[in-house]
Structure 1
Amino acid sequence: MKREQDIEIKDELIVRYLAGEADPEEAIALHDWLALAENRSYYEKVEAAWNNAYPAKAPRHIDARRAWDKLQGKLEPTAEMWTDRSASRWKSVWFRVAASLLVVMIAGLLLYIRIHEDKIAQVNISTLHASQRVGLPDSSIAILYHNSTLLYPQYFGINKREVSLEKGEAFFKVTPDKELPFIIHTSVADIKVVGTAFNVALQPGGLEVSVKEGKVLVYTANDSSYLEAGSTAVIQAASYTIVVKDSVNTNSWGYATRQLVFKDLPMREVIADIEKAYPYSIRLSDKNINNCRLTATFDNDSAENLVNLIAETLNLSVAKNGNVFTLEGEGCP
């Protein structure tokens, strides 16, 4: 990262500028360097980290003209050329000492930010008997299922976006950013994406990852695999090996999308999917109702409307008591 004047744009120079300690030559070099979009993006990430570390300091803006005028002023001869050379030497020594200390402080700040960026102000979200929608620092969304725990930093660092699913299940809708991959850590495997929608279910025996949109990388200490939309990975906790299936049960994330699709499914499976997606229970007056099969699609319907439509389709009736629906009728042979 050099320009024609051989001033290399490093993190230390950027932070020195943000601290108001950069020389005019350095400010001009930084201004030229920021002409590239990718450099501007990197600068903004460093600036964001600086502002988080020092919120009381207002962001600085590059003023190339002011820096150039200041530089020209330095190049003009002044009466200072005739001052005591001994005093000038002492000033020069002290300046070099101060500059060295500043560089050490800047390096320490950057190292601290990079090491601790995932440990600062950790947020812990735990659910019990209801799902919860969580907005993440990059505008990504996580919808936690019942009895689930998600850990994430109050803000993401300049190099990565990382969260931890400690237990349970969550559906993620990740904001695309190719420069900052999004990583989900679990006790069985890690998932890495740049922007997509997928479901992660941490179970006692392992992990299941199913992809709704885009592409994800699932990896363990022993194995790794890319998953396309419409595929599912199953990882056994005992072996950490990944088995990929070219299919998904879209109803498994119905708790997050409230979209349910049934294609000639027995009522036993239909009821299980509905009870996962909605905070209601469904009872049957006759066990033969489990033998009935249903083909239907529901998109963000209320639970009451959904159950009534199913009852009408199968020639059943519905009784409701609190959070419990009871389907009544003869059922199917």
Structure 2
Amino acid sequence: MSEKSLSEAEYDAITDAAAHWCMRLHASDCTAGERQAFAQWHDADPLHAFEYAAMLEIWDVADHLPRSEPVAVVVPFKPRSRLRTYAVAAAVCLAALPLAAFTGWEAGWLPSSYEHFDAANGLRKVTLGDGSQVELNLGTELVYSNYKNQRRVTLKKGEAFFKVSHDGNHPFIVRAGEGQVRVTGTQFNVWKYEDQVRVTLLEGSVQIASDALHASVPLSPGMQASYHTGDAAPQVAVTYPNDAGLAWRQGKLVLDNLALADALPLINRYLNKPVMLADATTGTIRIGGIYNINEVNNLIPSLPKVLPVYLTQNQDGNPVLNSIPRKTPKG
């Protein structure tokens, strides 16, 4: 998005307004009148919408920070103009959270950098501020924040392969769904779809913890952990070299004789309208093949040609797979 030719004071005013609305809309006593006023402000200028979206990302990151008793707010550095990290606005948002406060960078509450990455149109490789390299699958979105005592990534959706720059004093934490991955330096893959998360470790070691589990589960190379929202503990399994689950890095989707119930989450992440199953019986039908991730849309109409299924559509416009009943032999 191109920035308008506004003065620093005008930019600050918009940022302050975005922080104010972010706080008010998250407050329990926010009124209908305030929500209407926000909508008018938000729609009045594309820059208002842009700044508010950035503020929501900061709020999302802040929501996973530790809590303590309220203390004085201190901002130990000046944010960069134009390409600033919204540090002051982050301070305003954080101070508004229940029992949330911080003493700035020195206390490990305020990030020195904040970066947003997405791969809306294709695979993408990025380098984070700490030197770590990340490969983003199609449709992936994540944010990176650097704190004094840790480096933190929030995987909002999609899949990413991490080559983490080693720093024993600053753990690297990936937040995905209702859990997190903690490392110091290693190579691993994180896949997230709806409330499902799967972590595959290639090199080094990581600790996996779900929100419902107080202790963490260690992984060694060649192991994989998965969890859903509400799981008491991640499920751990052994993988094998050249796991097909990492074929996306070459732009491929590999379905290795999977039941449709297991294959659809892998397929749906590439679709605007996810495919649904008519019933559990349909979910047991198996599918295999290698597909280009940019052409997964073409896979769905072709399924009735290779599987005993037919397509319908539900009231929300989603394609629905239905199994074709087997004919009972006459006898």
**After TM superposition, is the score higher than 0.5?**
no
Higher-Rg structure is 1
Q: Which has the higher helix share?
A: 1
TM superposition score category, shorter chain reference = 0.3 to 0.5
